[in-house]
Amino acid sequence: MEFVIAVSIYLLLLAVWAFLSMMTLFMMMRYQGFSLLTWIASILYLLMSAGALLVTMNLVSRLEVDWTSLLYFFQASL
Amino acid sequence: MIFFGEKVILKVRKHPLVFFIDSFFCFVLLCAPLILLGIAFFFGIKIEIPRENIIGLAIVLAISLYYLYALLFLLFSFFMYFLDRWIVTEKHVVDVKQTSLFSRTVAKQEIGRIQDVTAEVKGFFQTIFDFGNVYIQTAGEQERFVFENVPDPNGIANTVMKVIDQQKQKPL
């Protein structure tokens, strides 16, 4: 059950982060247009975020976590 | 925002140093775990994430969120720096202020209504890196426009004064 709570909180905060990131990038593009600096900042940000997420996935895959309980929980909640 | 056909004389943002000062906290946030790891390594303390239990997973997910939100703060401080700007055209002065993600103010004033232009350079960093405030006193509803922390404030004040003079000399 603890795994379910930890992963659920993570996914919730990740969704908030993704929403705020997309809104910030969208507003920047909306007001500033497709200027070179906007492109560079957006691409750098997306690359660094993707890197952080890849490192997270790599570290999580090394943990010996019983993922089946998580799978069963989400299946049951569906 | 600007009337069609108006010639843009000047577009200014805050000095880049202001962005670096504002985002310094984000850089500290991003570097702090690495510095702590370095100190631990230096003193021979071995840090290991437990693999079998919930604590290991919680630590990895917390570090992941920490870095993602630190990056978001950095992007946000760039956003605030990038969208705050001032534009001087041959007929208007436009003050674009981004106060938060969904809050933006655009104030416009006719060049002819400007009464006084003042440049201010105050303090050590502003003097060394040549940036400061330009105050534009107008007769409009928003009485004073402030170009905050702009590079070369004296040059900007001179440019605005030149535009005002040119506007006054133009036949009606």
Interval A17-55: pLDDT, tens: 999 999 999 998 888 877 888 899 999 999 999 999 999
Q: Which domain holds residue B56?
A: 20-80
Q: Which domain holds residue A25?
A: 2-77
Minimal-distance CA residue of chain A relative to B57: A60
**How many angstroms separate the CA of residue B79 from the nearest CA in chain A?**
7
**What does the pLDDT average to over B115-138?**
91
Q: Note whether B72 and B92 are same-domain residues.
A: no
Identify the pLDDT of residue B76. Answer: 93
Identify the pLDDT of residue B4. Answer: 65
Interval A16-26: pLDDT, tens: 999 999 999 99
Is residue B115 scored above 90 in pLDDT? no
Q: Is residue B2 part of a domain?
A: no
Say whether B72 and A17 touch across the interface (CB within 8 A): yes
Residue among B80, B83, B67, B61 nearest B26 (CA): B67
- Residue A20: list chain B partners with CB under 8 A: 72, 76, 101
Q: Note whether B92 and B152 are same-domain residues.
A: yes
Q: Which of B80, B98, B120 lies at the terminal end of a domain, its last residue?
A: B80
Q: Note whether B151 and B108 are same-domain residues.
A: yes
Chain A segment 9-48 residues within 8 A of B by beta carbon are: 9-10, 13-14, 17, 20-21, 23-25, 27-28, 31-32, 37-38, 41, 45, 48
Q: Which of B80, B95, B129 lies at the terminal end of a domain, its last residue?
A: B80
Q: Note whether B47 and B101 are same-domain residues.
A: no
CATH number at residue B109: 2.30.29
- Residue A14: list chain B partners with CB under 8 A: 65, 68
**What does the pLDDT average to over B137-144?**
73
Interval B21-32: pLDDT, tens: 888 988 898 899
Say whether A64 and B52 touch across the interface (CB within 8 A): yes
**What does the pLDDT average to over B107-116?**
86
Tokens at residue B109, please? 């004033």
**How many angstroms separate the CA of residue B113 from the nearest CA in chain A?**
27
Which residues, 6+ apart, have CB-to-CB distance to B56 below 8 Å? A63, A65, B49, B50
Is residue B159 scored above 80 in pLDDT? yes
**How many angstroms separate the CA of residue B41 from the nearest CA in chain A?**
20
Q: Note whether B97 and B160 are same-domain residues.
A: yes
Q: Is residue B1 part of a domain?
A: no
Identify the pLDDT of residue B121. Answer: 93
B78 in A contact zone (CB under 8 Å):
yes
Domain count, chain A: 1
Minimal-distance CA residue of chain B relative to A32: B83
Residue among B135, B6, B18 nearest B84 (CA): B18
A52 in B contact zone (CB under 8 Å):
yes
Domain count, chain B: 2
Interval B3-62: pLDDT, tens: 667 888 889 999 999 999 888 988 898 899 889 889 988 888 877 777 777 788 888 899
Tokens at residue B159, please? 């440019």
Residue among B126, B92, B93 nearest B14 (CA): B126
Identify the pLDDT of residue B47. Answer: 76
Residue among B130, B133, B88 nearest B110 (CA): B88
Query: DSSP string covering B40-80, please?
Result: HHHTTPPP---SSSHHHHHHHHHHHHHHHHHHHHHHHHHHH
